[in-house]
């Protein structure tokens, strides 16, 4: 083989040889050549390519026609239950017999045996990976282990409601409510392991700190009950490892960073001025970036998280878009797309998970108000909460491009009532905070179309503002 390659180089010249190699590569892996920057660099080398690059190129071509397909690319598993995953190896498009090496990214969340049986252990997210015996290909499934608890901030009741989901019907049962440390909880979040809960107390200038009973899900105030949070604290996000919490401090126009201690109390780290008071904050799917409304309400800024100390560094600013300032951000499960729900349109941005840079893909007009948005765990459906119109709209998502297309809606709700929406990790049920009616609206989700079907209301013990699923 080496002799043939050298003879070809002598006959045609090195540059001509590279052009031929490039054409061969494109024939074998056209999509990779177009879409993957690493592949593109290998298949289209510079003027002085190294022998190492050529070696990697040949290795790439050898593997480009191998792939592993899993029976499920994502799943929600009730804590304590198991899931059987199956893997199939393909070589040059044909099914090929192979054994697999199975692995879990976090054995404290779920384990997997040699046959692909996943056993859930504790709350959180985990990647289960199957690698073919020859090492040429692998695939991963995004697994969420949940306990079926819904917690909702009851702002004018100064408390948090706790409900439990029926695993078959999706209907919620109210368990109890617990007073926060100060007043008017709005934003709400739980650590990934499901041990601690936090609320942004809008009129109390604080974050309330709760412990979650690991047997019943019941809440109790931690000691101390609160941490200082600046003026008008709103929504908050927590890193996937449970080490840091970031708060949208609306009244002080800042992002406030906290360390989460082993006992569930918070230690304030630093405040980052943003020059705009926003209630919305989001974290990237890979957990490396925070998203926040930019200095202008017509852009989104990304901030890189330093996991050594929790500090933030601005990484990117999106192209400008039409916005009234609402700017609720949802991220696609594949991490490649950001959806900014504003008036009068949804802006779809592509996102680089390495650099934090964002680029404008398209804008989809809806011409209604926006309070919040939600995306289905499959990545196939995207929902808009139109607060003034009392409408919930569903859009179909094309996961390969990120584009969205209007699909359906549910209507007839009172203006100013609908606030936030959550979807359970199995993707079967959705819940919406109906604040002035003191209800959570319960829906089943059509797994083919994303359409919502009303299945009942439930009182969460007060007036719900936001909610979260554990």
Tell me: the pLDDT tens digits for 329-342?
999 999 999 999 98
Residue 278: predicted pLDDT? 82
CA distance 288 to 222: 28
Q: Distance from first CA to last CA of the chain, Å, rounded?
A: 57
User: Residue range 327-355: average pLDDT?
Assistant: 94
CA distance 256 to 277: 12
Contact status, residue 379 vs residue 351, Cβ threshold 8 Å:
no
Residue 405: predicted pLDDT? 97
Nearest-10 crossing angle of helices 14-28, 2-12: 120
Residue 134: predicted pLDDT? 94
Contact status, residue 392 vs residue 409, Cβ threshold 8 Å:
yes
Has residue 250 got a pLDDT over 60?
yes
| Helix (H) / strand (E) containing 272 | strand 266-273
Among 91, 124, 144, identify where a domain stops: 144
Distance (Å) of CA 138 to CA 89, 112, 133, 263: 9, 15, 9, 38
Residue 286 lies in a domain: yes
User: Residue range 396-416: average pLDDT?
Assistant: 95
Has residue 28 got a pLDDT over 90?
no
CATH number of the domain encompassing residue 85: 2.60.40.1080
> How many residues in total does the chain contain?
470
On whether both 294 and 418 belong to a single domain, the answer is yes
On whether both 321 and 430 belong to a single domain, the answer is yes
User: Residue range 346-356: average pLDDT?
Assistant: 96
Contact status, residue 119 vs residue 111, Cβ threshold 8 Å:
yes
Residue 431 lies in a domain: yes
Residue 306 φ then ψ, to 5°: -90, 110
Instruction: Give the count of alpha carbons within 13 A of 117, CB side only.
Output: 7
Residue 39: predicted pLDDT? 42
Has residue 229 got a pLDDT over 70?
yes
Percent of the chain with pLDDT over 90: 77
Question: Could you list the residue range(s) of the whole structural domain that residue 341 is in?
Answer: 148-469
Has residue 5 got a pLDDT over 60?
no
Residue 109: predicted pLDDT? 98
Nearest CA to 415 among 374, 366, 371?
Answer: 371
Residue 23: predicted pLDDT? 37
Residue 295: predicted pLDDT? 64
CA distance 152 to 390: 20
CA distance 208 to 90: 52
pLDDT in tens, 162-215: 999 999 999 999 999 999 999 999 999 999 999 999 999 999 999 999 999 999
Residue 50 φ then ψ, to 5°: -90, 165
On whether both 215 and 339 belong to a single domain, the answer is yes
CA distance 339 to 328: 8
Residue 7 lies in a domain: no
On whether both 330 and 388 belong to a single domain, the answer is yes
Contact status, residue 454 vs residue 425, Cβ threshold 8 Å:
no
Contact status, residue 381 vs residue 396, Cβ threshold 8 Å:
yes
CA angle, 193 as apex, 83 and 288 as ends, to 5°? Answer: 100
List Cβ neighbours of 230 (8 Å cut-off, separation of 6 or more): 205, 247, 249, 251, 252, 254, 256, 271
Query: Measured on CA atoms in the order 7, 13, 17, 20, is the torsion positive or negative?
Result: negative
Among 129, 144, 159, identify where a domain stops: 144
pLDDT in tens, 259-304: 999 999 999 999 999 877 788 899 999 999 999 986 667 889 999 9
Residue 220 lies in a domain: yes
Residue 276: predicted pLDDT? 79
Considering the chain, what is the average pLDDT of its residues?
Answer: 88
On whether both 231 and 337 belong to a single domain, the answer is yes
CA distance 396 to 378: 11
Q: Where are the alpha helices (DSSP H) in 2-106?
A: 2-12, 14-28, 30-35, 37-43, 51-63
What are the start-end ranges of the E strands in 51-205?
A: 66-70, 74-78, 82-84, 87-91, 94-96, 100-104, 110-112, 117-120, 124-132, 138-146, 149-154, 159-165, 172-179, 185-190, 196-201
Nearest CA to 345 among 418, 415, 404?
Answer: 404
Beta bridge partners of 257: 246, 270
Residue 37 lies in a domain: no
Residue 23 lies in a domain: no
Total of domains in the chain: 2
Residue 31 φ then ψ, to 5°: -65, -45
Contact status, residue 103 vs residue 66, Cβ threshold 8 Å:
no
Residue 26 lies in a domain: no
On whether both 76 and 219 belong to a single domain, the answer is no
Nearest CA to 336 among 392, 299, 375?
Answer: 375
Residue 333: predicted pLDDT? 96
Residue 96 lies in a domain: yes
pLDDT in tens, 98-148: 999 999 999 999 999 999 999 999 999 999 999 999 999 999 999 999 999
CATH number of the domain encompassing residue 265: 2.130.10.10
On whether both 296 and 340 belong to a single domain, the answer is yes
On whether both 209 and 98 belong to a single domain, the answer is no
pLDDT in tens, 37-89: 434 444 444 434 444 444 444 444 455 689 999 999 999 999 999 999 999 99
Beta bridge partners of 165: 172
On whether both 241 and 117 belong to a single domain, the answer is no
Residue 63: predicted pLDDT? 57
Residue 1: predicted pLDDT? 41
Residue 416: predicted pLDDT? 87
User: Residue range 221-228: average pLDDT?
Assistant: 98
Cis peptide before 337 (omega within 30 of 0): no
* Cβ count near 3 (within 10 Å): 7
Is the whole model's pTM more than 0.75, yes or no? yes
CA distance 307 to 328: 25
On whether both 315 and 359 belong to a single domain, the answer is yes
Residue 325: predicted pLDDT? 65
Residue 57: predicted pLDDT? 42
On whether both 132 and 273 belong to a single domain, the answer is no
Among 109, 144, 179, identify where a domain stops: 144
Has residue 12 got a pLDDT over 80?
no
Nearest CA to 87 among 48, 133, 47?
Answer: 133
On whether both 157 and 135 belong to a single domain, the answer is no
Contact status, residue 145 vs residue 107, Cβ threshold 8 Å:
no
User: Residue range 16-26: average pLDDT?
Assistant: 39
Instruction: Give the count of alpha carbons within 13 A of 18, CB side only.
Output: 15
CA angle, 193 as apex, 187 and 198 as ends, to 5°? Answer: 20
């Amino acid at each position: 083989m080496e002799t043939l390659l050298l003879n070809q180089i002598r006959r045609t010249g090195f540059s001509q040889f590279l052009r031929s190699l490039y054409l061969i590569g494109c024939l074998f892996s056209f999509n990779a050549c177009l879409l993957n920057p690493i592949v593109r660099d290998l298949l289209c080398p510079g003027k002085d390519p190294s022998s190492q690059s050529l070696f990697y190129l040949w290795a790439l071509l050898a593997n480009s026609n191998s792939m592993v397909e899993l029976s499920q690319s994502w799943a929600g598993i009730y804590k304590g239950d198991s899931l059987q995953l199956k893997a199939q190896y393909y070589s040059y498009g044909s099914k090929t017999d192979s054994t697999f090496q199975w692995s879990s990214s976090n054995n404290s969340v779920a384990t997997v045996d040699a046959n692909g049986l996943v056993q859930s252990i504790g709350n959180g997210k985990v990647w289960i990976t199957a690698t073919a015996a020859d090492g040429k290909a692998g695939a991963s499934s995004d697994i969420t282990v949940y306990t079926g608890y819904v917690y909702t901030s009851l702002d004018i009741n100064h408390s948090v409601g706790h409900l439990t989901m029926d695993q078959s019907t999706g209907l919620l049962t109210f368990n109890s409510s617990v007073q926060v440390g100060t007043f008017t909880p709005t934003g709400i979040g739980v650590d990934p392991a499901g041990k601690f809960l936090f609320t942004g107390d809008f009129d109390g200038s604080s974050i309330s700190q709760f412990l979650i009973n690991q047997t019943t899900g019941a809440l109790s105030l931690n000691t101390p009950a609160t941490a200082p949070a600046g003026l008008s604290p709103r929504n908050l996000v927590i890193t996937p490892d449970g080490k840091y919490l970031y708060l949208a401090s609306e009244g002080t126009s800042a992002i406030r960073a906290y360390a989460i201690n082993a006992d569930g109390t918070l230690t304030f780290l630093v405040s980052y001025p943003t020059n705009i008071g926003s209630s919305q904050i989001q974290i990237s799917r890979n957990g490396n970036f925070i998203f926040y409304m930019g200095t202008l309400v017509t852009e989104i800024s990304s901030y890189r998280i330093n996991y050594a100390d929790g500090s933030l560094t601005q990484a990117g600013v999106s192209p400008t878009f039409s916005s009234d300032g609402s700017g609720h951000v949802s991220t696609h499960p594949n991490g490649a797309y950001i959806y900014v729900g504003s008036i009068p349109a949804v802006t779809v941005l592509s996102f680089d998970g390495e650099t934090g840079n964002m680029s404008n893909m398209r804008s989809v007009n809806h011409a209604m108000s926006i309070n919040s948005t939600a995306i289905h765990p499959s990545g196939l459906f995207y929902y808009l909460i139109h607060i003034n119109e009392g409408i919930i709209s569903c859009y179909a998502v094309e996961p390969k491009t990120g584009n969205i297309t209007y699909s359906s809606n549910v209507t007839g709700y009172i203006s100013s009532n609908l606030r936030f929406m959550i979807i359970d990790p199995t993707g079967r049920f959705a819940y919406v905070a109906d604040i002035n009616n003191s209800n959570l609206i319960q829906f089943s989700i059509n797994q083919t179309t994303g359409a919502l079907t009303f299945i009942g209301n439930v009182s969460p013990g007060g007036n719900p503002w936001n909610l979260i699923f554990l």
